[in-house]
A and B are shown apart, each in its own frame.
Chain A
Amino acid sequence: QDRGLATLKDISIRLKSVKNIQKITKSMKLISATKFNRAEKELRAARAYGLGTKEFFDKADIPKPEQPKGHLLLGITSDRGLCGAANSSISKAIKVYLEGEGKGKEVKVVAIGDKARAQLKRLYGSYILMHFKDIGKKPPSFADASYIAQEIANSGFQFDTADIFYNSFKSVVSYKTSVQPLYSQDLVSQASKLSLYDSVDPDTLTAYNEFALASLIFFCLKEGAASEQSARMTAMDSASKNAGEMINKLTLTYNRTRQAVITRELIEIISGAAAV
């Protein structure tokens, strides 16, 4: 009899806590839905920056060196979690590169966002050049991207090529972990198709390369933000659904246990009365 009552109380405590968690995940879903709408709107405007720069790098036919003198990896994640696989997929891609192609090369990693830092610091701390915090609270601005680009340019690390790992936004339910390559000043000036563009004196190229660094980082930050919010929406949605299923199952168990306790008490009363 005691065991029956104790289980009933346990179930009701569990039921209450799962209901609270469901409320939290539902509200997190709503919040990330509003943030996502804003991020997607800003992404549409920001796309022009990235695609224009990408076009130049694609069309200019820049030679890819066999042994680049210095390679930089940028991983764009967020400070906050609960967004599905969005942040861990970036860290995983960086780890795969460091173990595979990157072995033996002079590679450094820039971790943008606390999640990348946390996931890389244990085994790959020696590769990290710098990390950035306070990403993800507010939507990324060009000021953020230009600050990041400035710090990278002033870090003193000479790199021939760079790769930005970011989540490219495909749709509300899907994003793709992609790589955006970057090239140094020297490589760009050796591009074979450079003569197609006019007024490319060295000063313009230097200025353009610096601007390209900032605008590509901006583009990847915007894409990453939209992907992160949509991933969080999906994750919180499935969490709420799972919590709902748990609540249904627990309610059934609770009712069954309640009925069993009542039946047991009735039997005891009746058999006790018969004995007296």
Chain B
Amino acid sequence: RIRTAAMPAWRDAGINYIRYSALCAKVVRHCLKPELQREAMKREGSTVKAFLWKDGKPSEVPRKVVQA
């Protein structure tokens, strides 16, 4: 199968595009000037918790957050 472009390094490393772009955004946020950084840092981090279900019952413990 001919690939027109080589597989990106991040995909080879095992992360998907969502994680990759979140990491890039985090780096950019940390590079901002302090006045602009304050507003941007509010957008970082997520409070959402996920619970997987098995056989119609939810798990007691939320999934560990693997965030950028």
| Interface set of A (CB-CB < 8 Å, partner B) | 117, 121, 125-126, 128-135, 137-138, 141-144, 146-151, 153, 155, 201-204, 206-208, 210-211, 213-214
The residues of B that contact A203 with a CB separation of less than 8 Å are 3, 5, 7-8, 11
What are the residues of chain A within 8 A of B48 when measuring CB–CB? 132-135, 144, 147-148
Partner of B43, one of A130, A132, A143: A143
Using A125-B57, A131-B51, A150-B66 as known contacts, say yes or no to A214 and B44 having CB atoms under 8 A apart.
no
B residues near A, CB below 8 A? 3-5, 7-8, 11, 16-19, 21-22, 25, 43-53, 55-58, 62-63, 65-68
Chain B's closest residue to A128 (CB) is B53
Q: Out of A126, A134, A151, which one reaches B63, CB within 8 Å?
A: A151
B58→A142 contact, CB < 8 A: no
Contact B5 A147 (CB under 8 A): no
B5 A150 Cβ-Cβ under 8 A: no
Bound together, the chains give a CA A149 to CA B68 distance in angstroms of 14
**Would A210 and B16 count as touching, CB distance under 8 A?**
yes
Q: Are B22 and A211 in contact (CB under 8 A)?
A: no
Interface of A is mostly: helix
Contacts A143-B67, A210-B17, A211-B21 given; does A125 touch B49 at CB 8 Å:
no
CB atoms of A201 and B16 under 8 A apart: no
Residue of B nearest to A134 (CB): B47
Instruction: Contacts A129-B53, A142-B43, A214-B18 known; list 8 others, CB within 8 Å.
Output: A125-B53, A125-B56, A131-B50, A147-B65, A149-B18, A151-B50, A153-B16, A210-B17
Bound Cα distance from A117 to B43, whole angstroms: 26
What separation, in Å, do the CA atoms of A204 and B11 have in the docked complex?
11
Closest chain-A Cβ to B53's Cβ sits at a distance in Å of 5
Contact partners of A202 in chain B: CB under 8 A: 3
Judged by DSSP, the binding face of B is: loop
B52→A155 contact, CB < 8 A: yes
Give Cα A133 to B43, complex, Å: 18
Which of A133, A143, A147, A206 interacts with B17 by CB under 8 Å? Answer: A206
| A131 touching B58, Cβ below 8 Å | yes
Q: Which residue of chain B has the shortest Cβ distance to A124 in the bound complex?
A: B56
Complex Cα distance, B35 from A42, in Å, reads 20
A143-B43, A151-B50 known; A211+B56 contact, CB < 8 A: no
Q: How far is the CA of A117 from the CA of B59 in the complex (A)?
A: 13
Distance between Cα atoms of A141 and B25 in the complex (Å): 13
Q: Closest chain A residue to B62 by CB distance?
A: A133
A155 contacts which chain B residues (CB < 8 A)?
Answer: 52
CA distance A130 to B58 in the complex (A): 7
Interface centre among A146, A148, A213, by most chain B C-beta atoms within 10 angstroms, is A146
Complex Cα spacing A67 to B18, Å: 29
Q: B11, B46, B49, B52 — which one has the most chain A CB atoms within 10 A of its CB? A: B46
A residues less than 8 Å from B49 (CB atoms): 132-134
Measured between beta carbons, the chain A residues less than 8 angstroms from B47 are 134, 137-138, 144
Q: Which residues of A contact B51 (CB under 8 A)?
A: 130-133
Residues of A close to B50: CB separation below 8 A: 130-132, 147-148, 151
Closest Cβ neighbor of B53 among chain A residues:
A128
A-B contact pairs, 9 of them (CB 8 A): A133-B51, A141-B43, A147-B46, A147-B50, A201-B4, A204-B5, A207-B17, A211-B17, A214-B18
